[in-house]
Amino acid sequence: MRIITVIGSGLIGRSWAMVFASGGFSVKLYDNQPGQAAKALTEIRKQLEELEEGHMLRGELTAAQQFALLSSYDDLAQALEGCFFVQECVFEQLEVKQNIFQDIEQLVGKDVILSSSTSCLVPSNVFSKVQNRSRCLVSHPVNPPYHVKLVELVPHPETVRTIMDTTHAIMTKVGQAPVCLKKEIDGFAVNRVQAAIIAESWRLVRDGIISVKDIDLVMSEGLGMRYAFIGPMETMHLNAPKGLEDYMQRYGEGIMRVLTSFGPVPDFFSEGSKSIFNEMCELIPTDQQHLAARKEKRDQLLMGLAKLKKDH
């Protein structure tokens, strides 16, 4: 049985554990807060049963079979014993990540793949205290990874090709959709594209062009409809009679003109942001009840979309 160790049993650690178990891997879940990993397993069991009931369970195994593949640990050495792949999911703090990878390296063989879930830290920083960095990479999921399959694989400058290929194969086996970055860059690909969308949405609301509610509809009822199935490159390729080059001949100048009218990076911390925060809170109040209900709805909608994508 091939063993994957998941380090950190918070939101992302739990979701990775479920993803890997759905692909038939044996998963050892570790957290440095005593009892935390065991608690996470109780939560996972509940989720697996609910998913099975709703016919949304991933993989070929039953909920009980998948749960049987999971075990929890408060001891790092025991958690790492026998694993060939480590997926780290601890707090997003550089020093915490650097230290845990330093500890992990002392407890595993030199061929064990060391993978981080970091959203915002580049591999050359995360792995700076690791000796053998050729087996290190970031596997950045999108929340929640159980329902959103994309995972960005980002190499450390020293990472060897076979590590990228093996990780790509593991992610594909468990049903994720891996993409490979050829080299590291701040924000990777997902957060860079997301930041561009956030920035222009923010400027349009801030400048009184459109409301918070309506800019969200621009995505959810407009651009997002096709982006769930085809990306911006293919969208352009299909939107002109002779493909991408034809598209750019027709629309490239207009796009460049609009791009030059984009303002500088918005100041999210200025006084003016308060009215944007308030507008959002009027739509969805920030008390736990409203937020939890909306998050549940989001996950249900994502499950429906995942099912639709699977059937096509």
Name the site residues for ligand NAD (rule: CB under 6 A).
7-13, 31-33, 36, 89-92, 96, 100, 117-119, 140-141, 143
Give the CB-side neighbour count of residue 41, counting CA atoms within 13 A. 20
Q: Compare residues 119 and 239 and give the one whose CB is closer to ligand NAD.
A: 119
CB 145 within 8 A of CB 135: no
* Phi–psi pair at 281, nearest 5 degrees: -70, -25
Distance, CA of 269 to CA of 254 (rounded, Å): 32
CB of residue 158 vs ligand NAD: minimum separation in angstroms? 21
Write out the two tokens for 18: 């479920």
Q: Compare residues 80 and 100 and give the one whose CB is closer to ligand NAD.
A: 100
CB of residue 229 vs ligand NAD: minimum separation in angstroms? 22
CB of residue 103 vs ligand NAD: minimum separation in angstroms? 8
When computed from its CA atoms, the radius of gyration of the chain, rounded to whole angstroms, is 21
Distance, CA of 215 to CA of 209 (rounded, Å): 10
CB of residue 209 vs ligand NAD: minimum separation in angstroms? 29
Question: Beta strand pairing status for 136-141 and 150-155?
Answer: antiparallel
- CB neighbour list of residue 88: distance below 8 Å, 6 or more residues apart: 7, 8, 97, 100, 101, 104, 114, 115, 116, 117, 118
* Phi–psi pair at 296, nearest 5 degrees: -65, -45
CB of residue 142 vs ligand NAD: minimum separation in angstroms? 6
The residue assigned the tokens 């990540």 is 97
Distance, CA of 178 to CA of 140 (rounded, Å): 9
Q: Compare residues 40 and 236 and give the one whose CB is closer to ligand NAD.
A: 40
- Closest residue to ligand NAD, based on beta-carbon distance: 10
CB 6 within 8 A of CB 16: yes
Q: Compare residues 139 and 201 and give the one whose CB is closer to ligand NAD.
A: 139
Q: Compare residues 119 and 273 and give the one whose CB is closer to ligand NAD.
A: 119
Q: Compare residues 119 and 235 and give the one whose CB is closer to ligand NAD.
A: 119
